[in-house]
Structure 1
Amino acid sequence: METFKWIWGYLKDYKFRYGACLVLVLIAALISMINPILGGTIVDRVLEGGETNILVPILLVTIATALVKNIISYTYQMNFERISQNILLRIRKDLFDKLLTLDVDFYKQMKTGDLMARMTGDTDLLRHFIAWVVYNILYNVSVFVIGIVCMWFINPILTLAMLLVCPFIVLFTMKMSKRIGPTFHKAREAYSRLNSVVQENISGNRIVKAFSKENYEIEKFNRQNAFYKEANMDTVHVTQHYLPILEFLASFLTVVMIFVGGILVIYDQMTIGDLMVFNGLLWALNNPMRSAGYLINDSQRFIAASAKIRELLATESKIQNREDAHAPERIKGKIEFKNVSFSFEDTDALKKVSFKAEPGQTVGIIGHTGAGKSTLINLICRFYEPVSGQVLVDGKDIRSYDIKTLRESIAMAMQEVFLFSDTIEANIRYGVPSASSGQIQQFAAMAEADSFIRNMPEGYDTIVGERGVGLSGGQRQRIALARALIKDPSVLILDDTTSALDMETEMKIQQKLNESTRKRTTFIIAHRISSVKAADLILVLKRGRVIEQGTHDELMALQGEYYKVFNTQFGDFDEELAELTQKEAN
């Protein structure tokens, strides 16, 4: 019942139009009863009674009713389709809007294939239900009820005899409905898993090829494909278990009509024309009874699909704005962590981290993989919230800020770059839609991207493939850096942004960044000491803790973890340089 209440929330805006179409369905059902009755009249009055003068009018009425019914059917079917498409448009919009409000943690838990299935296949099942299933259920029920009423007025005895079969039809229909529901839910889950496998292989195609795991992925796909097939076969088995019985019971009604009707005609309890009317009405009733199973299938598919959609729409982001959220035009860029701890489930990612970055300062962050570097950055963007402690922005708790306002003042350039399937210019302009071509080229030059972009066939109008396919890793990183810089953010986050670049290009970019970051706070996550050496503050993370912090000279003087990393990266180079200098001196 909750499912139908939910879908009514979308239908109610079209209630008068939808209701008018349902009335047309009832009229069409009523009209479908006319021709069988006219057929009986021809037998009794024209063939038996010799009233040939009424034959032509009856034929004209028959043609007219068929024409009117077709016009009515076309009218309500087109309107049902338009309404369903409008509702589908709204539901997909609501789903997409919801997806964009959900937090990062949600996307870590959900598979892309499952979300795509909800956005496409499930929503189309809803459209099918609204546009086709509802009116067919109403039409079939109306035809059945009107047909039985007509039969009763013609001959109650034959009607009662035929109705004795109906309880069995209802019984098997209800049993089928109960058994078919779980199989559709199982098939829906199997479809989601299969979709996820396909999506992952398309997105991770390079990794599959690099590790030569095609056969492994084929086997994985085959397993999910077979599971989906079996889930669908379970549905087919249930359907085919009951549909033949329903078909038989529907056909058995014809046997009852011929047997009982024949006896009544023999004993002059009804005319041959009335029996012909019964036969015509029975043919009209057979379709509702035969299609009952299919309509149950479609209804259960709708219920399974709507459950998935409703579940997604009911999901709430863990990161919410407060009612009194602060929304300044622009933050200044002062970032402070006070004893901040964070954990993913049972795993500690950060432990009592404290530091302060003043506006305009550059903060370098180094540490081994899994040390908590990216987690720290995610807290600054408020993708997550700390388990304990405080993250302060301009002296205020980060949770007191409007999320949109906060993130508009922050720009990120990540190691794993995502580019949209669009022109290079559109990708750079993404954060600032109003940016001019001159500004785009200016910031591309700052990111050392202008020269290679101009050498491309279409320059800035070159279309990049999905996720930046067609560009090298370094080219993608430089475009992403330009996209971040053009926002002119108060806080700039560079997460190993230059990892795919050669040292010369990296040094050029660093020089330009040093010139351009005087008015903004910059966080640089890097594995290379050279990337953070000039920072005003360097944080050394290990197992979620800041074990050292200070300037390069201060950390070198400590001769701790930073000193060891520095010697690892530059020790051999310094020895070679000393040897070369000694040889030249000799």
Structure 2
Amino acid sequence: MFGKKKNDILVDHRLAYSVSLTTRRHGVYINREEVDKKFPESDPPQTIRELNGFLADKKLEANPINISIDDFKDKNFVFPCAVPFNNGESIIALSVFKKEDVYFIKFLDPLDPQARQQEVEINEFEKLWKNIVISVNALRGIESKERPFDVKWFLPELWKCRYMLLCAFIISILLNILSFTPIIFIQISLDKVVGYKAISTLYVLTAGVVVALVFNAIMGFVRDYIFNYIGDMLESRIATDIFDKLLGLPLIQVQGDNITKFNGSMQSITALRNTIVMRVFKVVFDLTAVLVFVPVMFAYNLLMGIIVLGFALLMGFNKIIFNNIANKSPEILNGVENSKNSLIRETLHGMTMLKEFEEEESERKNWRKSAAASIILRSKKNQSNSTSTEINGFLQQAMTITIIFTGVQLVFAEQLSAGSIIAINMVAGKLTSPIIAAITLYGERSQFLTLISRISDIWDKGSEQMGAGVHSTISGKYIFENVSMSFGDVKALNGLSFELTPKSKVAVVGPTGAGKSTLLNMIAGTYRPTEGKMEIDGVGFNQYDLSYYRSQVMLLDKNPIFFKGTIEDNMSRVTHNIGKNELAHIFALTGFDEHLQKLPEGIHTEIDETATQLAGGAASLLALSRALLANPKVLLLDEFADSLDIDTRIKLQDNFSSITTDRAVVDAQNVISHELDSISNYDKIIVLDGGKVVGQGKHDRLLIDCEVYRQMLEKEKKLSEIGDSKTAMSKDLSHIEKDNF
């Protein structure tokens, strides 16, 4: 069973080193020398207690957990973890994935110097496995962030509020008792006051009921305050922790469709809070009415109690049945709604294209089809809910009739008073409502679980190694040895081997899809090699603190992203102490100063995330200025110049040496400039094709050795000649027009 701890496991050198590598997820870096000293290879295995003594200085503890193979497939939060084998070996399990209906485990050999990610079928893995994994947690106990986000996550949090919940429980009992006072008031008034014309008794009863109702309102307010306080506490904890987890996600996961998915996860937090406060707490504590009113009901009459409970259960099951019918295909309805929303976004973003290709009618048909599907599904759901409401309304009225009919018979039999019939009918209303609500809540549990599942999409994902590892200023010396990068079954990079020297200017060229962007993202720290070794200044990439490393590397592409605010705000994000002269110098260097002069509000101009307020390639120049202000040791340009006009490119080329001073530059390009002056700016040119290095060296050498490079250069020359001929033709036509004039 998942979660059962095993304390009798022995820890050898290999297993200790495996565990030490998994501590990096907690921001703790333990080097090999520390492990060798505490757990020498020549010494016999030690106990888990001794391993925890070693980890205690780092405020960590190792927990050996017995886990089934099914839990190992599903519990993603356990990764990365150390896995001991029966043969004395151990590995670091990274993840479980499914390929062609077969489960595989991705793992690292802790003693592999290249830290290559490997795969093994889960059946082969299971043959060697002890059904034990060792996870590392914070020594201060499993914090809220460390627990998987499911229903059980709430138990420790609610336990912290146990005294408030106990108060809410007592208040709920009091509220139910106090709500009984109007019923007693009516019964006594009918049975005693009316019969004996006891006016003074009526005054006393009325005053007592008013006091009880005022106290009831105060108690209700206090209970709601407790519920809201606990709800706010839970929302605050979840919102804070999940944002930390969001910031800690690997960059490769925060892309494409995941952005929309994660946005939905963040928006689900408030919805979950409201569900807990307004539905779960209220329904569960209102159910205390059963403790008060069931004994009262049976005290009045056993038969009446059975009738009321029977109708309450009928109404509750009716709700469950029709809720299940209404929510039979929530995935279909969600899919239709997502399709409709996607169509709206597509129409708004592609309005120009629609009008250019006269596709308005086609898009109109698609919208009507999508809207009709949504309306039909919602109509069926509404019809089901309406039917359930009407049936329950009928059952409610039938219960009242049955109570009165049976009550009159009991009055004739002198087993009840007339006032008791009214009292029983009122008690029935107060008893059936919470029972129906509780049964309905159980039927709607899938909605609650869906909200939890959305949040767990972020919560249970593994985080990057942040705050741990080597903190050193890099010089820009990179060594790639047989480096590969895979996205699923597709290899974007395949066996790259090359070196980059400090402060060198390197061009990476190749056709579209050659792997240039993937390579630059790997250097930027966005992607990790799936195979091979990548070293920076003699230190393995995996040993660096990612946050510190990324602060020294800047990646610019043709679609820069900004923070919403002024231009000055965006520059201030890089450094708070910006000198006006320094800023003016950088703007002049990149050419952004010319665009800035055209803006009425200058540096105080408001821009959005994509800087649509800036004309032409000004957004790219602003992004370059921001990058230079950060003074990176490595500047990466991913087809950066594609969005710039020829004049801007020429100016940047003139300032190339100033822009690249004291830093390494890697410039990825789809095309090769045929101007030798431009090519000679680069110390090295790397040619990629199909994810492989097919050539590297200086321009002259590549012309001899690299066929791909020659072909690209020839195509670029032809394209340039066509452009030159069109320009010449345009000038000739201009002269002819002038002569004729």
TM-score (structure 2 length as normaliser): 0.70
- Inter-partner Cα distance in structure 1 for 2:721 and 2:315: 90
- Inter-partner Cα distance in structure 1 for 2:542 and 2:350: 36
Residue number in structure 2 paired with 1:321: 465
The CA deviation at 1:137 is: 1.0
Residue number in structure 2 paired with 1:513: 656
Please say if residues 313 and 436 of structure 2, whose CA atoms lie closer than 8 Å, have aligned partners that are also in contact.
no
After superposing the two structures, state which structure 1 stretch, 330-339 or 99-108, moved more.
Answer: 99-108
- Inter-partner Cα distance in structure 2 for 1:560 and 1:154: 98
Residue number in structure 1 paired with 2:293: 147
**What per-residue deviation string (whole Å, max 9, x for no partner) do you get for residues 319-357 of structure 1?**
x4399x532242121112112222322333222222111
The CA deviation at 1:541 is: 1.4
After superposing the two structures, state which structure 1 stretch, 294-303 or 129-138, moved more.
Answer: 294-303
- Is 1:33 aligned to 2:188, yes or no? no
Residue number in structure 2 paired with 1:351: 494
Structure 1: gaps spanning 5 or more residues: 581-586
- Is 1:460 aligned to 2:606, yes or no? no
Using a 3 Å threshold, how does the CA distance of structure 1 residues 173 and 544 change in structure 2: closer, same or farther?
same
**What per-residue deviation string (whole Å, max 9, x for no partner) do you get for residues 460-493 of structure 1?**
1100134212223401110111121111111110
Residue number in structure 1 paired with 2:252: 105
Using a 3 Å threshold, how does the CA distance of structure 1 residues 292 and 573 change in structure 2: closer, same or farther?
closer
The CA deviation at 1:516 is: 3.8
- Is 1:477 aligned to 2:623, yes or no? no
Residue number in structure 2 paired with 1:20: 167
TM-score (structure 1 length as normaliser): 0.88
After superposing the two structures, state which structure 1 stretch, 179-188 or 481-490, moved more.
Answer: 179-188
**SS in structure 2 opposite 1:546?**
strand
Please say if residues 489 and 520 of structure 1, whose CA atoms lie closer than 8 Å, have aligned partners that are also in contact.
yes
Choose between structure 1 and 2: higher strand proportion: 2
**What per-residue deviation string (whole Å, max 9, x for no partner) do you get for residues 437-481 of structure 1?**
443333222221122113211111100134212223401110111
Please say if residues 246 and 289 of structure 1, whose CA atoms lie closer than 8 Å, have aligned partners that are also in contact.
no
Using a 3 Å threshold, how does the CA distance of structure 1 residues 145 and 94 change in structure 2: closer, same or farther?
same
Using a 3 Å threshold, how does the CA distance of structure 1 residues 42 and 168 change in structure 2: closer, same or farther?
same
Q: How does 1:23-422 map to 2 (within 5 A)?
A: 23-108=170-255, 110-120=257-267, 122-176=268-322, 182-184=328-330, 186-188=332-334, 190-198=336-344, 222-288=368-434, 291=437, 295-296=441-442, 299-317=445-463, 320-321=464-465, 325-422=468-565
Give, as a single letter, the amino acid of the residue that structure 2 aligns with 1:345. G
**SS in structure 2 opposite 1:499?**
helix
Please say if residues 429 and 483 of structure 1, whose CA atoms lie closer than 8 Å, have aligned partners that are also in contact.
no
The CA deviation at 1:76 is: 2.3
Give, as a single letter, the amino acid of the residue that structure 2 aligns with 1:26. I
Using a 3 Å threshold, how does the CA distance of structure 1 residues 134 and 468 change in structure 2: closer, same or farther?
same
- Inter-partner Cα distance in structure 2 for 1:476 and 1:568: 30
Choose between structure 1 and 2: higher helix proportion: 1
- Inter-partner Cα distance in structure 2 for 1:362 and 1:348: 27
- Is 1:441 aligned to 2:584, yes or no? yes
The share of aligned pairs that are identical, in percent, is: 24
After superposing the two structures, state which structure 1 stretch, 258-267 or 422-431, moved more.
Answer: 422-431
- Inter-partner Cα distance in structure 1 for 2:719 and 2:392: 84
Q: What is the Cα-based RMSD across aligned positions, in Å?
A: 3.2
Using a 3 Å threshold, how does the CA distance of structure 1 residues 202 and 83 change in structure 2: closer, same or farther?
farther
Using a 3 Å threshold, how does the CA distance of structure 1 residues 297 and 420 change in structure 2: closer, same or farther?
farther
Please say if residues 686 and 697 of structure 2, whose CA atoms lie closer than 8 Å, have aligned partners that are also in contact.
yes
- Inter-partner Cα distance in structure 2 for 1:274 and 1:300: 41
Please say if residues 319 and 440 of structure 2, whose CA atoms lie closer than 8 Å, have aligned partners that are also in contact.
no
**SS in structure 1 opposite 2:641?**
coil
Select 1:545's aligned residue among 692, 703, 707: 692
The CA deviation at 1:393 is: 1.0
Using a 3 Å threshold, how does the CA distance of structure 1 residues 189 and 263 change in structure 2: closer, same or farther?
same
- Inter-partner Cα distance in structure 2 for 1:404 and 1:174: 51
Select the structure with the greater relative contact order (CA < 8 A; seq sep ≥ 6). Answer: 1
The CA deviation at 1:374 is: 0.4
**SS in structure 2 opposite 1:58?**
helix
- Inter-partner Cα distance in structure 2 for 1:454 and 1:203: 30
Please say if residues 45 and 51 of structure 1, whose CA atoms lie closer than 8 Å, have aligned partners that are also in contact.
yes
Please say if residues 475 and 537 of structure 2, whose CA atoms lie closer than 8 Å, have aligned partners that are also in contact.
yes
**What per-residue deviation string (whole Å, max 9, x for no partner) do you get for residues 497-553 of structure 1?**
121222332232233231242321110112343465411001111122221211123
- Inter-partner Cα distance in structure 2 for 1:435 and 1:452: 20
Using a 3 Å threshold, how does the CA distance of structure 1 residues 453 and 435 change in structure 2: closer, same or farther?
same
**SS in structure 1 opposite 2:462?**
coil
- Inter-partner Cα distance in structure 1 for 2:276 and 2:361: 43
The CA deviation at 1:208 is: 6.1
The CA deviation at 1:168 is: 3.2
Structure 2: gaps spanning 5 or more residues: 1-147, 729-741
